Amino acid sequence: MHELSITQSVVAAITQRMGDAPVRRIRLEIGRLSGIVPDSVRFCFELVAAGTTCEGAELEIDEPAGRAHCRTCGTGFDTAEVLPLCDCGSADVEVLGGSELRIREVEVGTCARPADVPTTARPGPGSG
């Protein structure tokens, strides 16, 4: 469950940079070949963010696809595999994208939000 420590580092990086400003929204980029499971990060986020300025923030995760280039036949293709094979049969394939792991941006408020106004749009059970 390395997503727990990854999520802790996300919250730490944001609180360190944004000071006391309440965080409304966080946008992450987690490539499909990165070795990080976005759903596990979402699962951990609520726990990790509790009691910090990130508590209640909406978490958006972009998941760029894996992109590969075959060195044998020159074809470029999308892939969900960490060790992709080209349709031509070659395993000599360079992975060009899909390993992204970044905090892209955060949206912050200028004052603490009222406790009784929900600012998140988390899907309820069954709707996500």
Partner 1 sequence: MCATCGCADDGTAGPGVRVIDPAHPERHVHPHADDGPEHRHGTRVDDHAARTVALEVDLLAKNDDLAGHNRDWLAERGIVALNLMSSPGAGKTTLLERTIRDLGAELPCAVLEGDQETLLDAERIGSTGARVVQINTGAGCHLDADMVADGLRTLAPERGCLLFVENVGNLVCPALFDLGEAARVVIMSVTEGADKPLKYPHMFRTADLVLLNKIDLLPYVDFDVDRCIAGARRAKPDVAVLEVSATRGDGLDAWYAWLRRARAR
Binding residues for Ni(2+): 2
Q: Given the complex with partner 1, which of 21 and 55 has the nearer CB atom?
A: 21
Give the C-alpha separation, 3 to 45, whole Å: 9
Structure token pair of residue 101: 């792991």
Q: Given the complex with partner 1, which of 39 and 105 has the nearer CB atom?
A: 105
CB of residue 124 to partner 1, shortest distance in Å: 26
Instruction: State the binding site.
Output: 2, 70, 73, 86, 88
Instruction: Quickly tell me which residue has 């995760």 as its tokens.
Output: 61
Q: What is the binding site for partner 1 (CB under 8 A)? A: 1-2, 4-6, 9-10, 12-14, 16-21, 25, 28, 30, 35-36, 82-83, 91, 101-110
Contact 116, 28 (CB under 8 A): no
CB of residue 117 to partner 1, shortest distance in Å: 17
CB of residue 125 to partner 1, shortest distance in Å: 26
Q: Given the complex with partner 1, which of 16 and 127 has the nearer CB atom?
A: 16
100 to each of 50, 57, 61, 62, 71, how far by Cα in Å? Answer: 26, 22, 11, 10, 22
Tell me whether strands 66-70 and 76-79 are parallel, antiparallel or unpaired: antiparallel
